[in-house]
Amino acid sequence: MPFRTAKEAVELANNTRYGLAASVWTENIGLALEVALLLKAGSVWVNSHNLFDAAAGFGGYRQSGFGRDGGKEVCLLDYIILLFLFSFLVFLLYFLVVVICFFLAFLPVML
């Protein structure tokens, strides 16, 4: 897609339903960094593509993902899953205690 200015290029890039990754290719590093900050994408590379740092979060914008790796959405989901599992284990333990107490209470009567 042809463009004349950096502002026009950013508008074209951000006018999409997706936003997983973007690359900025230029000889002017100042312009590249300015454009990279304006792009709505999960990962933005300057003069390269598909290079990841293992410590960096990963995710996208719009229909390219929900939240970011290690972001608040992911942490909240992990918390809810752990809360559900803990509640289920507490219920199971309570049920086993009730069953054991029932058998211990009526065991002499059964014999």
pTM of the model: 0.51
Q: Nearest to residue 22, comparing CAs of 57, 63, 62, 50?
A: 50
The answer to whether 20 touches 41, Cβ cutoff 8 Å, is yes
In 3D space, the residue among 69, 11, 68, 66 whose CA is nearest the CA of residue 40 turns out to be 11
Break the chain into its structural domains and give their ranges.
1-66, 70-111
Question: 58 near 43, Cβ under 8 Å?
Answer: yes
Section 5-12 average pLDDT: 87
Quick one: average pLDDT of 27-31? 91
What is the predicted pLDDT for the residue at 93? 95
For 88-108, how does the pLDDT look when each residue is reduced to its tens digit (9 = 90+)? 999 999 999 999 988 888 877
Reported as a pLDDT band with limits 50, 70 and 90, residue 72 is: low
